[in-house]
Chains A and B, each alone.
Chain A
Amino acid sequence: MWNPLRTAPVLSWIFTVLTLASCGRGNRPIVIGLAGPLSDPVGAPMLAAARMAVDEINAAGGVRGRRLALEFYDDLGVTDSAVRIAATLSAGEAVAVIGHAFSRTTLAAAAVYAGAPIPIASITPSSSSPDITEAGDWLFRTCPTDLSHGDALAKWAKDGLQLDRGAVLYVNDEYGRGIRRAFVDRFSGLGGEILEQDPFLDSPPDMGPFLERIQQGGRTQFLMIAGDRPQAMGIIRQARALGLQMPILGGDGLEGIEQDGALANGAFVSSAYLPILTTPANRRFVDQYRNRFPNEGPPNQPGAATYDIIHLLARVIGESGVKRAAIRDGLSRVGREDPSYRGVTGPIGFDAHGDLLGQQVWISEVKDGAIKLAGER
């Protein structure tokens, strides 16, 4: 049986080879690696936005007189794939890598990028685990950490929704544990009570025993889901089936959940980026994105962040050259010695750990199949 997830890496490799071959030998392109769940709804906008940014830069003359080229791989959100892809990109011609999208894959691949004979910098658009902060000097990210998401969600639940007791259902990986830890700490600190902390792994997970216990307990006022969008939809479906109508809160893994039907109505999602933001840069980006990819949904945070990272890398390569170490050094100066880059997701600069400076998190609510800005932090 044909499996698109299995063939995606092969297809992406063929595309990369064809792209590189088309550039000719006289003026070899500058290769930027891209790795993430590109066949996943979370990762597909990354590839689309990356192509859009590369085309824009090449149309404007490229970087240092050379064209940009993408070398992209689908890691399927699996750590083993991420590790293999990281080894491939490290050994190739890529000067920097955008990826990976999930904290687990990013952390798994980070050691490979940093431990390569010629280390290569990677910039994750959406991996928010706090553990990434200590993952080395070659890893940067352009999204807020789970601490910010957990903090914003806890504050919104306690102060915005006036809720005092809740249950946390988390995917038992780096991302889920990160959000859980941050949320529980903050919510407890605000005087709230966490009655349940239940892990899951599958997608969609079987949350029956946990939800039944919550129902049996009868004290839980909301469900906080720290997982991805399919997992969250499975949990919501099961909860609603059990008659649990309590509010649903979720981290940025739930981005795009408004597209999943009426069950998602009433869910509150934290996000580092919203396509409904009305800044001129974002409007222009969203319009171009929709014009170019009319059959896709609106761009999500990983996509918008990938678009920004491509432009940021073009600036850094233009200033520092194409050496991997020079690019890493150039990235480390952004926001401190060099000015921040102002992208569609906001200003991008890095602290000493490679984390985003001035992290900003939005809380949106799903209403009638659309998102609406609910709060800002």
Chain B
Amino acid sequence: MGSLKRRLILGTAMLVLLVLGTALVGISAIRSLDQAVTTDLDAVLRGNVLASALVGLQAEQTRAAESYLTNGDGQSQNQFRVIGDSAHTIQRALRRLSGLSAEDQARLNQIAIHQGEVEVAFARAHALRDLGRPQAARTAADQAQPPTDSITAALTALTTIQQNRVQTQASSLQRLATRRQSVVWLLFIVALLLGVATAAWIIQSIDIPLARLTAATDRMGKGDLRPVDLGSMPHELQQLGESVNRMGSSLHDVVEAVIREAREVSASASDFSAMSQQLAASGSQITEEMSHVSSRAVEQAANVKTLESVFSDIRRGVTTNAGLAAESSELSHRIRSIADYHRSSIERTTASLGELRTIVSSAGEQIKRLTGQADRLADFVERVRSLADQNGVLAVNAAVESGRIHESGEGVSAVAKEIRTLADAGGELVESAERVTATLHAQIQETVGGIATGSARILAIEGATAQTGGALQEIIQAVDAVTVSAEKVVGGVKRVHGLVGDLAEHTTAVDAIARQQAAVNDSVAASVAEQTASTEEIARGAAGLFEAAQRLQALVSDFRI
């Protein structure tokens, strides 16, 4: 309800609905009345027309029947039948009329029956007439009168009932129309009152808030940007008021910012002016420097030319070094093959010395075993000596005994003598064996000493031979290292050759760049000249800006924020 739009829509919708309702009720009333009147009128009209037609046909049929009775012409008889068929057709049409009650239908049935009776009566009369019985024919024809009267009465009753029904219906419709008319008037008055109330309500809803809004905007127009309390008002105007307040607030912020910025601009404009002058001076300096750079670039281009000839010499020297390195590599290969040959001779000598040392070692072992046998021989001699000594003791003991048993001991004395002899011979043998053993020991000791000396010499020779082989091995390794180095030198020389080529190309590129640099330098110099001109322009602008800032400060000083 707070929205002006909703109020307008609501009010308008209510008005439209009421007007629509009024119109619908009116239209409905008119339509229903129209339909009822149309239907009833149509039924009554059709009923009256049909009833009248039926009455008329009946009269015609009677006339035709009477005509045949009088004249006997076939045309009248045929007409009588045709009119009868038409009468039955009208009866069926009457039966199909809308709004007929069961009583009406029964009445129509009676009319049809009476119609049949009339026709039968006249048909019999005609037959009797044809048979030449006019009196009987007349009597028969007269029998048609009661049903004819009944038909007329029934039709009259039907018409009257229809008319009464229409009158009743008309009264009912009149009452309905009066009620509908009252309802329409009531709806119209309600719509009118509601419309006036809605209009007043809407105008009031707009007018008061609008006046407050006008006052607020007037005050803002005068420069008073302080917030305004607009009070309660419809949604749209509330939004408008809030927008005005927001606008004032924004304007307040803007003015504040403008003042602040104006001050800053004013301060900055001075600095800007000074800086632009410095910039102009810097531009002149840059021009000079660029001129210098340009001349150095020309020199650089000349140096590059010189560098190109140096690179050409280097390329030739590198090519020569590559050839020497190849020769060195070949020479190293040859030294290695000679060293390999001598090393194999030394390896063979070392093998022969090894075999000799094995033989000497084997002789030493044999001498050690001989020494052992000499020692065992010395032990044997010692045991023999021990036996000879025991034999000597035994001989002494035998001599002593033989002396005590002198008379009986001559045998013993002989044995003792023998033993003494044997002991003496053993002693001599032992002494001889001891001399041989000593000689043998002395000789063995001499042989052992000789072998030890020989072994020492062999070991010395082996050591010298091993040292010679090691020296040769070192020579081979040195030669291999020289070969590898020579190959590396060849590879390095090739890479150096390539690098020198690349360097020459780069030098050419540097030359082109130097030329472009010179052109750019010229362009930069021109730009610097333009910049200098622009800087002077900026300096003039800064001065104008400063003046504008001053004026802006003067303008915003009127706002109340």
Contacts and interface: CB of A to CB of B under 8 A. Distances in A.
A83 B128 contact: no
B124 A177 contact: no
Nearest to B116: A172
B106 A199 contact: no
B323 to A, nearest CB: 115
A309 to B, nearest CB: 24
Interface string B82-123: 000100100010011010101001101110110011011001
Contacts of A115: 98, 100
A86 B124 CA distance: 35
A216 B105 CA distance: 42
Given A177-B85, A198-B123, A199-B120, A83 B105 contact: yes
A80 interface: yes
B109 A108 contact: yes
A212 B85 CA distance: 25
Given A80-B109, A172-B119, A107 B127 contact: no
Contacts of B105: 83, 108, 111-112
A221 interface: no
A209 B131 contact: yes
B92 A131 contact: yes
Contact of A84 (B102, B117, B119, B124): B102
B130 interface: yes
B123 A79 contact: no
A322 interface: no
A25 interface: no
A55 interface: no
B106 A83 contact: yes
B109 A79 contact: yes
Interface in A191-243: 197-201, 209-210, 212-213, 216
Contacts of B92: 107, 131
B111 to A, nearest CB: 11
B441 interface: no
A200 B88 contact: no
B102 A112 contact: yes
A115 B109 CA distance: 17
B116 A201 contact: yes
B315 interface: no
A173 interface: yes
Contact of A209 (B98, B106, B110, B128): B128
A87 interface: yes
Nearest to B117: A201
Contacts of A86: 102
B343 interface: no
Interface in A54-79: 79
Contacts of B120: 172, 199-201
Q: How large is the interface on A (under 10, 10 to 19, 20 to 34, 35 or more residues)?
A: 20 to 34
Contacts of A136: 96
Q: How large is the interface on B (under 10, 10 to 19, 20 to 34, 35 or more residues)?
A: 20 to 34
Interface string A129-148: 00100001000000000000
Contacts of A172: 116, 119-120
A199 B80 CA distance: 12
Contacts of B85: 177, 181
A200 B140 CA distance: 13
A111 B95 contact: yes
B417 interface: no
B109 A173 contact: no
A256 B280 CA distance: 139
B124 A209 contact: yes
A80 B106 CA distance: 5
B98 to A, nearest CB: 8
B127 A198 contact: yes
B123 A199 contact: yes
Interface string A157-198: 000000000000000111001000100000000000000011
A85 to B, nearest CB: 10
Contacts of A181: 85
B81 interface: yes
Select the residue from A79, A104, A172 with max chain B CB neighbours within 10 A: A172
B260 to A, nearest CB: 87
Select the residue from A111, A131, A210 with max chain B CB neighbours within 10 A: A111
Nearest to B136: A209
A99 B102 CA distance: 17
B100 A111 contact: yes
Contacts of B95: 107-108, 111
A307 B156 CA distance: 44
Interface string B121-145: 0011001101100000000100000
A112 B102 CA distance: 7
B130 A213 contact: yes
Contacts of A108: 95, 105, 108-109
Contact of A216 (B116, B119, B131): B131
A197 B106 contact: no
B497 to A, nearest CB: 105
Select the residue from A131, A199, A200 with max chain B CB neighbours within 10 A: A199
A198 B131 CA distance: 14
Nearest to B124: A209
A197 B81 contact: yes
A169 to B, nearest CB: 10
Nearest to A108: B109
A172 B115 CA distance: 9
A213 B106 contact: no
A343 B108 CA distance: 36
Contacts of A83: 102, 105-106, 109
Contacts of B130: 213, 216
Contacts of A212: 127, 131
A199 B131 contact: no
Select the residue from A79, A115, A209 with max chain B CB neighbours within 10 A: A209
A336 to B, nearest CB: 25
A209 B127 contact: yes
A177 B115 CA distance: 13
A303 to B, nearest CB: 26
Contacts of A210: 123-124, 127
A177 B116 CA distance: 10
Nearest to A216: B131
Nearest to B100: A111
Contacts of A80: 106, 109-110
A180 to B, nearest CB: 10
A87 B102 contact: yes
A294 to B, nearest CB: 38
Interface in A244-260: none
A172 B119 CA distance: 8
B107 to A, nearest CB: 10
Given A84-B102, A199-B116, A213 B96 contact: no
Given A111-B95, A209-B127, A210-B127, A199 B102 contact: no
Contacts of B124: 209-210
Contacts of B123: 198-199, 210
A199 B128 contact: no
Contacts of B108: 108
Contact of A213 (B88, B100, B110, B131): B131
B104 to A, nearest CB: 9
A209 B134 CA distance: 12
Nearest to B98: A115
A212 B128 CA distance: 9
A136 B100 CA distance: 15
Select the residue from B100, B106, B116 with max chain A CB neighbours within 10 A: B116
A107 to B, nearest CB: 7
5 contacts: A79-B109, A108-B105, A108-B108, A177-B88, A198-B127
Interface of B: 81, 85, 88, 92, 95-96, 98, 100, 102, 105-106, 108-110, 112-113, 116-117, 119-120, 123-124, 127-128, 130-131, 140
Given A83-B106, A131-B92, A209-B124, 7 more contacts: A79-B106, A83-B109, A136-B96, A198-B123, A210-B124, A212-B131, A216-B131
Which A-B residue pairs are the 4 nearest by beta carbons? A209-B127, A172-B116, A79-B109, A83-B105
